[in-house]
């Protein structure tokens, strides 16, 4: 006789084939589905494109009752329901965008058990009306999508998610499955605690995306660098270009269009219909380039995105991983390209300093940024660094920029001392703080207006840095920041020493730095890195 697990397995497999039209499960899908169908809880960490949706959609069809799917992606609920409807699966959603009539229809379908999946926004569970509705129906399972949103130490915290801990208290017999595409070991633990999933089975997939080639280059002339990438390596390909601000999204999209690239903008400042229209075109047409803020992409399932380019530094490694993960879901070779420069570091520190929230929160943001900087400045395989961040091991991949063109490292102790002592002297002798630009001008002995105005040409460090070019000095500052040997502060991004700066100044410490491969430094006339 077949065991209950075998029976469940064969039923799930039938649903996979009959409803979804796939032959076999991928990775751990089968085990995850068995766990939930059998009434157990599951915590699933699987990279974007790994196939998380089926892990709750199939149990939704196999178990009695309606699966309640909690998702923060209100804008995508209609699409998700439409996609299921096209497969013949009965699904509905409840959210704030609906009119009352539509709401009532979904509510009665839920109560009558005439749908198999009900999508809800997390805030809905804060409403007594929704809870009493759920109480009156039969719930097959709870699926908590984007579960990392519950983690206060994560990069995408949403307070509404905290209320989800009540699911278990209120419906202790209903199995729960929490899913996320991004979690460091700490976030992972926090999800388990906050959602009360300690007895759940944890399924952690391999986070490696071997078909993605990771490259991080020094920002020189970002527009030209981007255009080179698109023209030389990805002509006619679909891709996403991420920028930090709405204004730069608009400018870069215009710039690309002016240069013959089929590009569209996407950010929260555009009206809803333009956003929807641009998103639709990106999904349906071939070879479109979406220039976007990070508002774009969550839940977007376009398999043939051939590149993801970042023109600004992501705020965290988790964000970087998630955004780059939108490339190459079809498994074909794809590029994750990031251009970053000193200005990015200064700007982000500024944002952190001026951000709301207490000291702990700002420390967390600074920690995220430091990890991102370390990935940028590493001389080791990017993939090794990236996976290590998620607590996973990889051998050097042979398919990232540092593997393909290993950067040389060089002893930068003396330049580091010169730079730090410039900062020290400005502060000690003049009681002044300046940004990187002024310190570099001083080291290079440039007689600029500002140098004259402040009499900086009489400092003993004036003109002692002729051994490096300006771009190289900027790289020195960047790497001192990345190594925590220097810090930037305040609205003007002024440089300040850190506790460890003294070790360099006191010659107790050598400073090794990454030398940019020639390819990326030689061409720029006026470096901006
Ligand atoms: P995630 O939510 O993890 O990013 P999805 O659930 O959207 O991933 O799945 C990514 C893609 O892989 C979808 O197009 C989905 O239909 C497909 N997929 C998922 N599981 C399988 C499978 N077992 N066989 C074939 N394709 C699958
Ligand atoms: Zn590598």
Q: Residue 155 has which token pair?
A: 């990069």
Three-state DSSP class for 201?
A: strand
Three-state DSSP class for 114?
A: coil
Say how far apart CA 14 and CA 346 lie, in whole Å.
Answer: 55
Mean pLDDT across 386-403: 93
Mutation choice for ligand 1 from 51, 76, 89, CB with most ligand atoms inside 8 A: 51
* Pairing status of strand 408-411 against strand 512-515: antiparallel
Which residue has the least CA distance to atom 19 on ligand 1? 51
When pLDDT is cut at 50, 70 and 90, the band that residue 47 belongs to is: confident
Say how far apart CA 116 and CA 85 lie, in whole Å.
Answer: 11
Instruction: Reply yes or no on whether the pLDDT at 242 is more than 50.
Output: yes
pLDDT at residue 454, rounded to an integer: 95
Alpha carbon 141 to chain centroid, angstroms: 28
* Pocket around ligand 1 at a 6 A CB cut-off: 22, 25-26, 29, 46, 48-54, 301
When pLDDT is cut at 50, 70 and 90, the band that residue 453 belongs to is: very high
Three-state DSSP class for 194?
A: helix
Mutation choice for ligand 1 from 16, 32, 53, 206, CB with most ligand atoms inside 8 A: 53
**Which atom of ligand 1 is nearest to 23's Cα?**
24
Instruction: Reply yes or no on whether the pLDDT at 73 is more than 70.
Output: yes
Instruction: Reply yes or no on whether the pLDDT at 522 is more than 70.
Output: no
**Which atom of ligand 1 is nearest to 181's Cα?**
3
Instruction: Reply yes or no on whether the pLDDT at 524 is more than 70.
Output: no
Which residue has the least CA distance to atom 16 on ligand 1? 51
Which residue has the least CA distance to atom 5 on ligand 1? 51
Instruction: Reply yes or no on whether the pLDDT at 357 is more than 50.
Output: yes
Instruction: Reply yes or no on whether the pLDDT at 15 is more than 90.
Output: yes
Burial class (CB in 10 A: 0-12, 13-18, 19+), 392: middle
Q: Is 463 left (phi over 0), alpha (psi -120 to 50) or beta?
A: left
Write down the number of H helices and E strands in the chain: 22, 17
Say how far apart CA 375 and CA 391 lie, in whole Å.
Answer: 14
Q: How far is the CA of 347 from the centre of ligand 1 (A)?
A: 37
Which residue has the least CA distance to atom 15 on ligand 1? 51
pLDDT at residue 526, rounded to an integer: 36
pLDDT at residue 520, rounded to an integer: 43
Nearest residue to 443 (alpha-carbon basis) of 418, 480, 425, 475: 418
Name residues whose C-beta falls within 8 Å of residue 214's C-beta, 6 or more positions apart in sequence: 324, 336, 382, 383, 386, 400, 401
**Which atom of ligand 1 is nearest to 16's Cα?**
23
> Which of 28-32, 68-72, 291-295, 524-528 has the weakest average pLDDT?
524-528
pLDDT at residue 360, rounded to an integer: 81
Q: Residue 525 has which token pair?
A: 């006339």
pLDDT at residue 356, rounded to an integer: 80
Q: How far is the CA of 330 from the centre of ligand 1 (A)?
A: 10
When pLDDT is cut at 50, 70 and 90, the band that residue 3 belongs to is: confident
Instruction: Reply yes or no on whether the pLDDT at 528 is more than 60.
Output: no
Q: Residue 63 has which token pair?
A: 């178990």
Q: Which ligand is nearest to the CA of 336?
A: 2
Note the pTM of the prediction, 2 decimals: 0.80
pLDDT, the chain, mean: 91
Say how far apart CA 183 and CA 205 lie, in whole Å.
Answer: 11
Which residue has the least CA distance to atom 24 on ligand 1? 22
Instruction: Reply yes or no on whether the pLDDT at 379 is more than 70.
Output: yes
Q: Which ligand is nearest to the CA of 396?
A: 2
Instruction: Reply yes or no on whether the pLDDT at 238 is more than 70.
Output: yes
End-to-end distance of the chain based on CA atoms, in angstroms? 68
Instruction: Reply yes or no on whether the pLDDT at 4 is more than 80.
Output: no
Which residue has the least CA distance to atom 17 on ligand 1? 51
Pick from 55-64, 69-78, 179-188, 345-354 the range whose average pLDDT is largest.
55-64
When pLDDT is cut at 50, 70 and 90, the band that residue 518 belongs to is: low
Residue predicted with more confidence, 128 or 260: 260
**Which atom of ligand 1 is nearest to 26's Cα?**
23
pLDDT at residue 1, rounded to an integer: 61
Residue predicted with more confidence, 361 or 440: 440
| Total residues found in the chain within this entry | 529
When pLDDT is cut at 50, 70 and 90, the band that residue 86 belongs to is: very high
Q: Is 88 left (phi over 0), alpha (psi -120 to 50) or beta?
A: left
Instruction: Reply yes or no on whether the pLDDT at 87 is more than 70.
Output: yes
> Percentage of the chain surpassing pLDDT 70?
97
When pLDDT is cut at 50, 70 and 90, the band that residue 463 belongs to is: very high
Q: How far is the CA of 288 from the centre of ligand 1 (A)?
A: 22
Q: How far is the CA of 167 from the centre of ligand 2 (A)?
A: 42
Q: How far is the CA of 50 from the centre of ligand 1 (A)?
A: 6
Q: How far is the CA of 410 from the centre of ligand 1 (A)?
A: 45
- 3-state SS track over 356-395: CCCHHHHHHHHHHHHHHHHHHHCCCCHHHHHHHHCCCCCC
Which residue has the least CA distance to atom 25 on ligand 1? 22
Mean pLDDT across 161-167: 90
Report pLDDT digits (tens) over 90-143: 999 998 888 999 999 999 999 999 999 999 999 888 888 999 999 999 999 999
């Amino acid at each position: 006789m077949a065991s209950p697990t075998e029976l469940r397995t064969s039923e799930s497999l039938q649903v996979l084939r009959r409803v979804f039209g796939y032959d076999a499960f991928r990775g751990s899908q089968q085990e995850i589905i068995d766990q939930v169908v059998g009434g157990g809880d599951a915590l699933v960490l699987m990279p974007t494109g790994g196939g998380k949706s089926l892990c709750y959609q199939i149990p939704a069809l196999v178990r009695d009752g309606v699966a309640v799917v909690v998702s923060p992606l209100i804008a995508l609920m209609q699409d998700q329901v439409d996609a299921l409807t096209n497969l013949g699966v009965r699904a509905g959603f409840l959210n704030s965008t609906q009119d009352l009539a539509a709401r009532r229809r979904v509510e009665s379908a839920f109560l009558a058990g005439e749908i198999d999946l009900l999508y809800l926004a997390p805030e809905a569970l804060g409403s007594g009306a929704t809870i009493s509705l759920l109480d009156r129906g039969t719930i097959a399972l709870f699926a908590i999508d984007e579960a990392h949103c519950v983690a206060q130490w994560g990069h995408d915290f949403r307070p509404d998610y905290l209320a989800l801990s009540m699911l278990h208290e209120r419906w202790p017999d209903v199995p729960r499955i929490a899913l996320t595409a991004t979690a460091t070991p700490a976030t992972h633990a926090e999800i388990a605690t906050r959602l009360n999933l300690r007895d759940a089975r944890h399924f952690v997939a391999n986070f490696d995306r071997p078909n993605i080639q990771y490259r991080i280059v020094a920002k020189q002339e970002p527009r030209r660098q981007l255009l080179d990438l698109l023209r030389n390596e990805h002509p006619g390909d679909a891709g996403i270009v991420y920028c930090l601000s709405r204004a730069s999204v608009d400018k870069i999209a215009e710039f690309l269009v002016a240069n013959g690239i089929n590009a569209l903008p996407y950010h929260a400042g555009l009206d809803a219909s333009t956003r929807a229209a641009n998103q639709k075109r990106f999904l349906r047409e071939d070879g479109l380039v979406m220039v976007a803020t990070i508002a774009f992409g969550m839940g977007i399932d376009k398999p043939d995105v051939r590149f993801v380019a970042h023109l600004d530094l992501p705020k965290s490694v988790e964000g970087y991983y998630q955004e780059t993960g939108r490339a190459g879901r079809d498994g074909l070779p794809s590029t994750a390209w990031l251009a970053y420069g000193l200005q990015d570091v200064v700007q982000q520190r500024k944002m952190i300093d001026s951000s709301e929230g207490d000291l702990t929160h700002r420390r967390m943001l600074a920690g995220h940024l430091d990890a991102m900087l370390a990935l940028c400045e590493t001389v080791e395989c990017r993939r090794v660094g990236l996976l290590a961040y998620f607590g996973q091991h990889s051998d050097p991949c042979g398919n990232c920029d540092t593997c393909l063109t290993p950067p040389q490292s060089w002893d930068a102790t003396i330049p580091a001392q010169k730079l730090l002592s410039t900062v020290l002297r400005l502060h000690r002798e003049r009681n002044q703080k300046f940004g990187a630009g002024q310190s570099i001008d001083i080291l290079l002995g440039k007689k600029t207006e500002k140098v004259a105005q402040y009499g900086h040409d009489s400092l003993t460090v004036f003109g002692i840095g002729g051994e490096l070019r300006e771009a190289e000095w900027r790289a020195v500052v960047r790497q001192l920041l990345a190594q925590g040997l220097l810090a930037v502060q305040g609205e003007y991004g002024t440089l300040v020493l850190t506790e460890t700066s003294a070790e360099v100044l006191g010659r107790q410490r050598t400073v090794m730095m990454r030398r940019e491969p020639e390819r990326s430094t030689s061409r720029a006339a006026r470096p901006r890195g």
